[in-house]
Amino acid sequence: MLSISWRSILRAIAVISWIASIAWFYFEPGWEPLIAVLTGTAAFIVSFFVSDVHISIPTSEKTKSAREERNRERMLELVKNSWVKGVLEQSLHGEVLIKLGLEERKDAVYNRQGMELQTPGKPNRLLPTGTKVMDVFDEMGQTLLILGEPGSGKTTLLVELARDTIARAEKDPKHRIPVVFNLSSWTDAKQPIADWLVDELKTKYYTPKKIASDWIENDDLLSCSMGWTKFCLSTARRASVRSMTFAVSMD
């Protein structure tokens, strides 16, 4: 829906009436243009006495769908330019991406309540050389925690995952919009992660709050986050990060 206030409507009428009166007087001098002047002045005065609260104007489903598609395409392009072209490709300087050794750890689960990694002792499994991180991500239900020592390639894998999921989302609108976030800016422990994500979309990706809130509420985003740890999860109306059921270790 379009949103506009009665005050804005009346002031727009006033401006149009004044412009019309000038053109009218120019082509047909006389007292008649005074009608347009008085109409505009009346509308402008009344605008001070009406509410500035915005009203919603229904739009067609076709128009709404086209606008949502434009917003989606702009976000995909912005994330791609910022992270894939701006970080991944620049850091590699045109070199072939090194296929990092991956190791499956079903025993690494993030516990929000205890703030610890639970290790029930299940055996790790080495993945074949050249395994694509997106294949692992899909196999594990699109929930992934990437662990490893500093410099082991966590950020490279995360941005590679963002690159591949962006390419997939560009081809198929059924896939969520991958967006990279930096968890180090989530400093308020009392702030729900959904609110923090909306703030990040506003400040880092220049997304209007209404659009950002709708994306979070409708589970339209695939959140690729780095900071304390590197992880990627669906943002399906989560008030907090609860658990990760798969991890990639690069020790």
Please check whether residues 90 and 187 belong to one and the same domain: yes
Q: What angle is formed at CA 195 by the lines to CA 249 and CA 170, rounded to 5 degrees?
A: 60
Final residue in a domain of this structure, among 40, 57, 74: 57
Q: Could you tell me if 70 and 52 lie in one domain?
A: no
Per-residue model confidence as pLDDT tens for the chain (251 residues)? 556 788 888 999 999 999 999 988 888 888 888 888 999 999 999 988 887 777 666 666 777 788 899 999 999 999 999 988 888 776 654 444 555 556 555 554 433 232 222 334 556 677 677 778 888 788 777 877 777 677 777 788 888 899 999 999 999 999 999 999 888 888 887 888 889 999 999 999 999 999 999 999 998 998 888 865 545 555 433 434 433 323 232 33
User: Are residue 154 and residue 81 in the same domain, yes or no?
Assistant: yes
pLDDT for the residue 209: 94
Shared-domain flag, residues 32 and 94: no
Query: Which of 183, 166, 195, 181 has the alpha carbon at shortest distance from 77?
Result: 166
Question: What's the domain count of the chain?
Answer: 2
Q: How far apart are CA 229 and CA 154, in angstroms?
A: 9
**Are 82 and 158 part of one and the same domain?**
yes
48 and 69 together in one domain: no
pTM of the model: 0.61
Whether residue 221 sits in one domain with residue 165: yes
* Domain with 8 in it: 2-57
Q: Is 94 left (phi over 0), alpha (psi -120 to 50) or beta?
A: left
Instruction: Give the residue ranges of DSSP H helices in 140-179.
Output: 154-171
